Structure 1
């Protein structure tokens, strides 16, 4: 995994990224979307016009392993010190340490962008992701019951947070 690279997402990678995301939409509760999203919807969410909010393709030998992003937590000025992070890995590449590398990478990007706090909102069924974040110093700060409904069942979420050292 020495060849892992994080490259800012460009339009030429959008279809591959869309395929990864829509896999989770159709097959898991990782995403709370109920139907596959379009290329235009993905573009809006991963190619933010604000330079503080950045998205990166995770590549190895030009093969997409996944993507990672830091986005706006809430659209109010006082929240500008907090970013929300998301990591999606191609299911064929989990348990290879890519998530940990992506998390460290995006934390560095967030620090350079002036974020004080990072949060991740995760479905409680996604135990692997919760473990990843907790392993890297994130603490659970919220547990919301039955806030989503997918695959004929109610879903809970947790919010994990890390205060970044300056």
Structure 2
């Protein structure tokens, strides 16, 4: 079993395992089918979700967010770009179950993944969200992320054009080497 860590009031962050996959898939597919949070237009399969969150690379981690023994969401850090110069940058994502929003879980998940990323010697973190997603935009801004890009009409879902915004936060020292 992977590592786990308790943070905040009643939140347990467990390293993602096979036993979390079905619940994580349900959370993600809710956003696929009902919102513009995800730019997938078709639900993912269990195998596709497994590839997404259990990639086997020790630097890129996924954590189940547990509250009172139930899956409240998940948070992950993935490769930003697959080129060596980007190895000190990570892309972060947070997905909460639809009934877990508005309780501070997203902010605690963000602080948790930032601590993990700093321990893994990441220098910069990037989060990319649909520009319609005001909750996520406020979350990242409130935690020190700055909007670094806006791509207009980059995706199409539910019969309309969608923009995405990228947010960035430097978490490592300016003189950090990649050795």
TM range, normalised to the smaller chain? over 0.9
Aligned to 2:112: 105
Of stretches 37-46 and 1-10 in structure 1, the one that deviates more from structure 2 is 1-10
1:74 to 78, 81, 97: 81
- Which stretches of structure 1, 4 residues or longer, exceed 3 Å deviation after superposition? none
1 or 2, which has the higher helix percentage?
Answer: 1
Aligned to 1:29: 36
1:63 aligns with 2:70: yes
The alignment covers a number of residue pairs equal to: 166
Aligned to 2:160: 153
TM superposition shift of 1:165: 3.8
TM superposition shift of 1:110: 0.3
TM-score computed with the length of structure 2 as normaliser: 0.91
Measured in 1, the distance between the counterparts of 2:172 and 2:104 equals: 23
Measured in 1, the distance between the counterparts of 2:9 and 2:169 equals: 27
Q: What stretches of structure 1 of length at least 5 have no aligned partner? A: none
TM-score computed with the length of structure 1 as normaliser: 0.98
1:53 to 45, 48, 60: 60
Measured in 2, the distance between the counterparts of 1:117 and 1:13 equals: 28
Q: What stretches of structure 2 of length at least 5 have no aligned partner? A: 1-7, 174-179
Measured in 1, the distance between the counterparts of 2:104 and 2:54 equals: 25
**What's the C-alpha RMSD, in Å, of the aligned pairs?**
0.8
